[in-house]
Structure 1
Amino acid sequence: MTTSDSHATGSGAPADGTRHVGAAYGSDDVGGVPPNRSVRVDGLSSLVPTPERVQRRRLASVARELLTRMVASDADAGQLATAADRLEEVVDLIGELPTGLAYEGFSEAANAGPALRAMAEGYGKEGDPERFAFFDHSPLIGLSNPLSPPLVLEHDRGDRDVVHGTVNFGPAYEGPPGCVHGGFVAAVFDELLGATQSLSGIQGMTAHLDVDYRSPTPLGEDLSLLGWVERTEGRKIWASATMSVGDRLCAEARALFLALGPGAFDELLEARDADAVPGGDDS
């Protein structure tokens, strides 16, 4: 999507790591509210390390390490067969354990406006960090999901108008030799910008994501991300971000988010739940 505003590039991001939203702050678009914080960040960091969560995260970490070692293995057929036999036993063991939905409630509720956020918070009592436990199952930031690199997000502690991110991709995410697959780069930007757009005070869901790949994104190195809100207009939020290794810009992204009403998100949730229940509505 093209807008009349010029997009920020890596060289356009402030050297001190901060960028003010501009029209979004104190404007009629957001009612003059100060920057908000994303429960995608705060909700995940506030989760209590219950015994179950500790072991679930441990299991995910082991599975993550398994993926790393599998893609780098040069074992012979017999060794691979033995490993596969052992893994099948583990799969059978886990298959006998209780199952359920990865999360109860709205994984994107914090991004769909105040009304829907209130509905999501209704799934847990005020002050109960478990109401946002579903973020721990995110394929990008969730420590309980083995697909997660994981990406670590935090608000700027000084100004709170930017979101910082750090991620280190292992060999399982390889695209070009020694480099991260571009699809995973885009996915990380979507997650980062999803948290960033909450700073506008008008939360939405991704409508458009544009990624420019500036230089190879290396595997096995700490990548730094920075996200900021560009502007808002009604139910639209534009946000931008960069990904760098050291002083080198690897990629930059721009995204448009649209605030959704509770009715639209209810339909997605109901469809998800129907598919998860045996004998659910196939219509």
Structure 2
Amino acid sequence: MSKDTSAEDPWHSGGKLHPVLGTRDPQLADAQRVWGEDFEPVDLSELEGADPHLEDVGEQMRRLRDALTGIADSGADLAEAAELLRRAADIVEPQSPDQATRLASQWRKGGPGARRTNPVGGTENVIAPPLRAFGNPDGSVSARITLGLPYQGPPGCVHGGMSALMLDHLFGFANHWVGLRGMTAHYEIDYRKPTPLLEPLDMKAWVESHEGRKIWVRATIESGGELRVEARALFISANVPLPGRDATAPGEER
């Protein structure tokens, strides 16, 4: 069972570099050294699903996505599958509200619906891997995932745009974990080595510094003990107007 450090953790009271660990490149081992070997990260991604059937539909669609990628030359007979999918679409489509209505509904009660449909971590989004992020008491967030053929760019490698997308997603969690929020204003990324498909990828992101509305964050992707990608971004603290509502300054009541 994880130790609840939210009350004593300085990360939750201002978003500054962690004074105990004193590092801008925090590692899980550092957190375990301070908080104990039995430390387990806190899952930031998991949300209660709105509908278990919708969660299941998303999972089955991802199975199809993975199975269909690269199948063209296999000789598979897909006629029955196409007909079943056509029937499924005929059932769901008439019940689905227009996109403007769905957009507004996603942002009710703090926006859990939007998180469930996020293109990186959303369990209800077919294109999402989906990625699960974990918050560590050293102030960093981490994730581990193995990507398959749908995310291929160079031969046998993860598409560079997918790497950038996943790290931008983790940047948001890194801000959230230390009590900050903002929008990406500047993003720089270095691809150090090819990032392989079909192998575990370890990702990490953390807030490097915070001054006024400016939040600097860093992130890395490693595989096989080697650095594959590193990125740095500037976030600007600001609220985006929700559908049907006006923007407010950070901390202002809506």
TM-score by length of 1: 0.65
1:152 aligned partner: 132
Distance 1:253 1:102, change over 3 A: same
1:197 aligned partner: 175
- Between the aligned partners of 1:270 and 1:48, the Cα distance in structure 2 is 25
Read off the aligned partner of 1:154 and give its amino acid letter: F
> Aligned pair 1:168/2:166, yes or no?
no
SS at match of 1:104: helix
- Between the aligned partners of 2:58 and 2:28, the Cα distance in structure 1 is 36
Read off the aligned partner of 1:167 and give its amino acid letter: I
Q: Is the 1:103–1:137 contact (alpha carbons within 8 Å) kept by the matching residues of 2?
A: no
SS at match of 2:77: helix
Q: Which has the higher helix share?
A: 1
- Give the superposition deviation at 1:178: 1.0
Q: Is the 2:205–2:219 contact (alpha carbons within 8 Å) kept by the matching residues of 1?
A: yes
SS at match of 1:228: strand
Question: Percent identity between the aligned chains?
Answer: 33
Q: Which deviations, in whole Å up to 9, do the C-alpha atoms of 1:234-283 show, x marking residues without a partner?
A: 1010000111113111111111100114xxx22x6349xxxxxxxxxxxx
> Aligned pair 1:244/2:222, yes or no?
yes
- Give the superposition deviation at 1:133: 3.5
1:234 aligned partner: 212
Q: Which deviations, in whole Å up to 9, do the C-alpha atoms of 1:87-134 show, x marking residues without a partner?
A: 22222222122435156354xxxxxxxxxxxxxxxx43xxxxx86243
Moved over 6 A (4+): none
- Give the superposition deviation at 1:16: 5.2
SS at match of 1:269: coil
Q: Please provide the CA RMSD for this pair.
A: 2.7
Q: How does 1:189-228 map to 2 (within 5 A)?
A: 189-228=167-206
- Between the aligned partners of 1:188 and 1:103, the Cα distance in structure 2 is 25
- Between the aligned partners of 1:102 and 1:61, the Cα distance in structure 2 is 22
Distance 1:150 1:259, change over 3 A: same
TM-score by length of 2: 0.72
Q: Which deviations, in whole Å up to 9, do the C-alpha atoms of 1:182-214 show, x marking residues without a partner?
A: 111100000001111234443211111211111
1:101 aligned partner: 102
Distance 1:258 1:93, change over 3 A: same
Q: Is the 2:49–2:116 contact (alpha carbons within 8 Å) kept by the matching residues of 1?
A: no
Read off the aligned partner of 1:144 and give its amino acid letter: E
- Between the aligned partners of 2:157 and 2:178, the Cα distance in structure 1 is 33
2:235 aligned partner: 257
Q: 2:165 aligns with which of 176, 187, 204?
A: 187
User: What are structure 1's unaligned runs of at least 5 residues?
Assistant: 1-11, 20-37, 107-122, 125-129, 272-283
SS at match of 2:95: coil
1:23 aligned partner: none
User: What are structure 2's unaligned runs of at least 5 residues?
Assistant: 1-23, 32-41, 246-254
Read off the aligned partner of 2:105 and give its amino acid letter: E
- Between the aligned partners of 1:105 and 1:18, the Cα distance in structure 2 is 37
1:5 aligned partner: none
Q: Is the 1:167–1:223 contact (alpha carbons within 8 Å) kept by the matching residues of 2?
A: yes
SS at match of 2:105: coil
Residue-pair matches, total: 208
1:280 aligned partner: none
Q: 1:13 aligns with which of 16, 22, 25?
A: 25
SS at match of 2:194: coil
SS at match of 1:202: coil
Q: 2:123 aligns with which of 143, 166, 170?
A: 143
